């Protein structure tokens, strides 16, 4: 899952980003509305965590413009205001969910995962192909009866390949879904991660490389 945090309180934004990365998410951060809107329109995110009370370009306007641009990202709006009127206003602007500050980090993670499931085509809670099972909620993977110990990036790549249902996924798509904006697009991180994932999946081999196109299960 790739997430954009638009939050002007730098300490809070950094803390959220660190926590979400520990949960295996790829996270980008913007500290103002204008910068956040630009990132949201240029990159492909599953969820945008949007503080409502941003300086400069207000969070309401960011939300409105993303909705007008028909962005595929789901929007979770954050605010210190907890009144029903504020919540309704945020949802009417195009937000998909609303969370008042302060909040429990576990609730934020649960809401992000729920929104991410709604960001693309419907998919089952457990992803399966042949003898591989992946549970996104518990972040556990099995091949036959053997549980695999995967890194966050290996898990993300396998999840993306399973979600594709046998279709080819390009290196660029994997880079966009699993890594954040700080990753060098010309690096070999995707190839290296595929190589280590293949080893952990074992025999018979499951991941097929299609030269010039990408990978598929």
Query: How confident is residue 98, by pLDDT bands cut at 50, 70 and 90?
Result: confident
Query: How confident is residue 62, by pLDDT bands cut at 50, 70 and 90?
Result: very high
Indicate the domain borders of the chain: 2-119, 127-216
Decide if pLDDT at 203 tops 80.
yes
pLDDT digits (tens, 9 = 90+) for 22-54: 888 899 999 999 999 999 998 889 999 999 889
Decide if pLDDT at 89 tops 70.
no
Looking at per-residue pLDDT, the higher value among 146 and 80 belongs to 146
**The pLDDT value given to residue 8:** 93
**The pLDDT value given to residue 31:** 94
**The pLDDT value given to residue 83:** 59
| CA distance linking residue 26 with residue 152, whole number of Å | 9
**The pLDDT value given to residue 123:** 65
Is CATH 2.30.30.830 correct for 2-119? Answer: no
pLDDT digits (tens, 9 = 90+) for 131-188: 999 998 788 999 988 999 999 899 999 999 998 888 999 998 898 888 887 777 777 8
Q: Which CATH class is domain 127-216?
A: mainly alpha
């Amino acid at each position: 899952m790739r997430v954009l945090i638009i939050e002007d309180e730098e300490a809070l934004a950094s803390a959220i980003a660190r926590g979400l990365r520990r949960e295996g998410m790829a996270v980008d951060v913007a500290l103002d509305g204008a910068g956040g809107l630009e990132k949201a329109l240029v990159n492909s995110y599953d969820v945008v965590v949007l503080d409502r009370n941003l300086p400069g370009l207000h969070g309401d306007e960011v939300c409105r413009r993303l909705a007008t641009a028909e962005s595929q990202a789901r929007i979770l709006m954050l605010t210190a205001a907890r009144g029903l009127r504020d919540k309704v206003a945020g949802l009417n602007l195009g937000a998909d969910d609303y969370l008042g500050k302060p909040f429990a980090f576990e609730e934020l993670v649960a809401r992000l995962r729920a929104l991410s499931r709604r960001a693309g085509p419907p998919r089952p809670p457990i992803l399966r192909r042949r003898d591989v099972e992946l549970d996104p909620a518990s972040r556990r993977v099995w091949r036959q009866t053997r549980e695999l110990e995967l890194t966050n990036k290996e898990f993300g790549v396998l999840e993306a390949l399973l979600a594709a249902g046998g279709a080819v996924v390009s290196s660029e798509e994997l880079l966009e879904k699993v890594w954040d904006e700080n990753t060098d697009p010309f690096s070999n991180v995707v190839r290296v991660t595929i190589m280590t994932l293949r080893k952990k999946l074992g025999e018979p081999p499951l991941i097929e490389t299609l030269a010039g196109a990408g990978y598929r299960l």
